């Protein structure tokens, strides 16, 4: 067990290094893109790219499904089955890419021309960007089996290296924008598609050369195909609901308020992605171990890891969310030359939503490890889809655009409660123990941390407030978590890991 925790710690460190570098590059990228495209074109790219992203719900479903079945086979020590999963997943992803392109270029084009609120003078450029985004989407779908294989083998150093290279290439693109004389929106979309293709080739070559299971062969196994397809179908239903909720909200915001607010939402999503990636790296690192422990029927270790990762996910994120929430307006003044209206408000609400997502992440992995998603996805998807009619009604009645995210937060809490209820019936999750060891400590320490930072909110501004609140909130959260949340076993593991990395 300790070796598995050490591997998770090592993988998490590699992913954090990757994230810090990619986040810094990403923040610079957003500023330069916004300055060069302008608020209007930036908003257009976010709504068009986001709309295309709606057709990739199968991509996310299959990414999780492929990794789940690979990890499950490897957890049982069945390499032959892992090879079969790999080959079948290649075939399935080719089909998914074709289906996604057909949907995007038929139904998607109809929706683009009929409903999207795009300034007439920029519609042709937006259409080019749309087609290029569809191409990038197809390439990203084809890369999923290779990414899943790299994660299943826990080769996070390579995974981190390629992510850094990809971010640097994207930075290179935006630095070229000022000297590009062709339409900048079209050029930006084209170059991003080109990067997707290069990264796809790198992943493919690495997997084919490095891993035993990564040898494609035409393989027929109806039972395995049905198992993967059945799991993927229900997972796809949930992914469609989740992506549809997010992209549908963007489209409704576009219909009622235009591309300017899409730009504000795009900025908020960039910040949310940058901050949430701190915990998503950790969740990526523990996912293989959680699924493997369930596959090996080591349920005590499985439950222990579930509780540990739930607490760690929340507090790793909270360390970054609290000071950023308190200083969002000042950070935006430093970061952006032009701050779109509602960008600060949207960002703060997204940061709150990210805390719920951090707590839900390990529970979602536990659901996937257990399999049998039908009942789970039906209820979850119903709640996700409920966002759209509620948002439409509120916007139609003239409520503040921020209601889009407030509704998302409220329904997100309901979905979190449903996950706990489902796992209670599916894997006998000890709910009382979960609340005692995870939820209650989170509520208490969150409240204490906010109280500690109250003087900085009232008496300081600017750089002084940013530096003091960041330092005090970080130190207080670490202190409180170590002495009042971690148990003796977790403290011992932490000390052992720190000593190992000091050597």
Specify the pLDDT at position 484: 82
pLDDT value, residue 414: 93
Picking from 355, 69, 88, the residue whose alpha carbon sits closest to that of residue 219 is 88
Q: Coil, helix or strand for 464?
A: helix
The model's pLDDT over 48-77, given as tens digits with 9 standing for 90+, comes to: 665 555 555 556 666 667 777 887 777 777
For the chain, how are helix, strand and coil distributed in percent, rounded to 5? 90, 0, 10
Kindly state the DSSP code that residue 473 receives in the 8-state scheme. Answer: H
**Residue 20 to residues 14, 15, 26, 129, 261, Cα–Cα distance (Å):** 10, 9, 10, 29, 28
Q: Is 62 exposed, middle or buried (0-12, 13-18, 19+ CB in 10 A)?
A: buried
CA distances from 107 to 54, 104, 125, 136 (A): 12, 6, 19, 18
The Cα angle at residue 246 between residues 138 and 323, in degrees rounded to 5: 110
Q: What is the mean pLDDT of the chain?
A: 80
Identify the band that residue 180 occupies on the pLDDT scale cut at 50, 70 and 90. confident
Q: Can you tell me the distance from the alpha carbon of 189 to that of 50, in angstroms, rounded to the nearest whole number?
A: 13
Q: Per-residue pLDDT averaged across 378-404, rounded?
A: 87
CA 170 to chain centre: 19
pLDDT (0 to 100) of residue 255: 81
The Cα 236–Cα 228 span in angstroms is: 11
Q: Cα 323 to chain center, whole Å?
A: 21
Query: Does 400 score more than 90 pLDDT?
Result: no
Higher model confidence: residue 496 or residue 246? 246
pLDDT in tens, 109-168: 887 788 777 778 888 888 888 888 888 888 888 888 888 888 778 777 787 778 778 878
Q: Say whether pLDDT at 6 is over 60.
A: no
pLDDT at 351: 92
pLDDT tens digit sequence for 268-302: 887 887 788 777 767 777 777 787 788 777 888 88
Q: Tens digits of per-residue pLDDT, 405-426?
A: 899 899 999 999 999 999 998 8
Average pLDDT over residues 444-467: 84
- The model's confidence at residue 312, banded by pLDDT at 50, 70 and 90, is confident
Burial (CB count within 10 angstroms: exposed 0-12, middle 13-18, buried 19+), residue 113: exposed
Confidence of residue 30 (pLDDT cuts 50, 70, 90): low
Judge residue 209's burial from the number of C-beta atoms within 10 Å of its C-beta, 0-12 exposed, 13-18 middle, 19 or more buried: exposed
* Burial class of residue 19 (count of CB atoms within 10 Å of its CB; 0-12, 13-18, 19+): buried
Question: Which tens digit of pLDDT belongs to each residue from 248-268?
Answer: 788 888 888 877 787 788 888
Res 224: pLDDT: 76
Could you tell me which residues come within 8 angstroms of residue 111 by beta carbon, excluding any fewer than 6 positions away? 51
Rounded Cα distance, 74 and 13, in Å: 23
Q: Which residue has the higher pLDDT, 286 or 367?
A: 367
Model pTM above 0.85: no
Range list of H helices, 386-487? 387-396, 403-427, 431-434, 440-459, 462-484
């Amino acid at each position: 067990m300790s070796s598995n925790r050490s591997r998770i710690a090592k993988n998490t460190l590699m992913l954090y290094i990757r994230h810090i570098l990619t986040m810094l590059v990403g923040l610079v990228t957003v500023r330069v893109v916004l300055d060069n495209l302008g608020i209007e074109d930036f908003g257009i790219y976010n709504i068009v790219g986001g709309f295309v992203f709606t057709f990739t719900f199968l991509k996310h479903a299959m990414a999780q499904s492929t990794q789940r079945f690979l990890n499950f086979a490897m957890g049982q020590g069945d390499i032959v089955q892992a090879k079969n999963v790999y080959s079948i997943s290649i075939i399935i992803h080719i089909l998914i890419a074709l289906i996604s392109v057909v949907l995007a270029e038929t139904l998607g084009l109809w929706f683009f021309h009929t409903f999207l609120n795009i300034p007439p003078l920029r519609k042709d450029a937006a259409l080019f960007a749309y087609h290029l985004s569809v191409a990038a989407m197809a390439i990203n779908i084809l890369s999923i089996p290779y990414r899943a294989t790299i994660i299943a083998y826990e080769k996070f150093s390579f995974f981190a290296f390629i992510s850094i290279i990809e971010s640097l290439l994207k930075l290179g693109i935006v630095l070229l924008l000022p000297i590009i004389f062709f339409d900048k929106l079209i050029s930006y979309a084209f170059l991003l598609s080109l990067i997707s293709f290069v990264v796809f080739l790198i992943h493919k070559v690495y997997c084919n050369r490095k891993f035993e299971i990564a040898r494609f062969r035409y393989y027929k196994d109806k039972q395995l195909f049905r198992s993967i397809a059945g799991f993927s179908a229900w997972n796809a239903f949930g992914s469609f609901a989740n992506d549809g909720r997010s992209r549908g909200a963007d489209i409704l915001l576009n219909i009622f308020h235009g591309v300017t607010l899409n730009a504000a939402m795009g900025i908020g999503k960039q910040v949310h992605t940058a901050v949430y990636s701190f915990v998503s790296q950790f969740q990526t690192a523990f996912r293989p171990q959680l699924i493997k422990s369930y596959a090996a029927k080591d349920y005590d270790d499985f439950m222990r890891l579930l509780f540990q990762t739930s607490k760690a996910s929340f507090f790793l994120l909270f360390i970054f969310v609290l000071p950023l929430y308190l200083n969002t307006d000042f950070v935006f003044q430093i970061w952006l030359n032009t701050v779109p209206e509602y960008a600060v408000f949207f960002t703060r609400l997204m940061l709150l939503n990210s805390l719920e997502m951090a707590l839900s992440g390990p529970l979602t992995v536990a659901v996937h490890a257990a399999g049998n998603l039908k009942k789970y996805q039906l209820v979850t998807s119903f709640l996700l889809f409920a966002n759209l009619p509620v948002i439409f009604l509120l916007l139609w009645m003239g409520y503040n655009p921020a209601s889009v995210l407030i509704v998302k937060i409220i329904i997100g809490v309901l979905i979190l409660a449903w996950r706990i209820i489902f796992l209670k019936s599916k894997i006998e999750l000890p709910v009382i123990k979960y609340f005692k060891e995870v939820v209650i400590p989170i509520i208490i320490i969150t409240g204490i941390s906010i109280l500690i930072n109250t003087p900085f909110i009232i008496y300081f501004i600017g750089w002084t407030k940013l530096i003091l609140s960041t330092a005090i909130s970080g130190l207080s959260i670490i202190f409180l978590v170590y002495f009042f949340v971690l148990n003796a076993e977790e403290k011992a593991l932490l000390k052992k890991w720190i000593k190992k990395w000091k050597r």
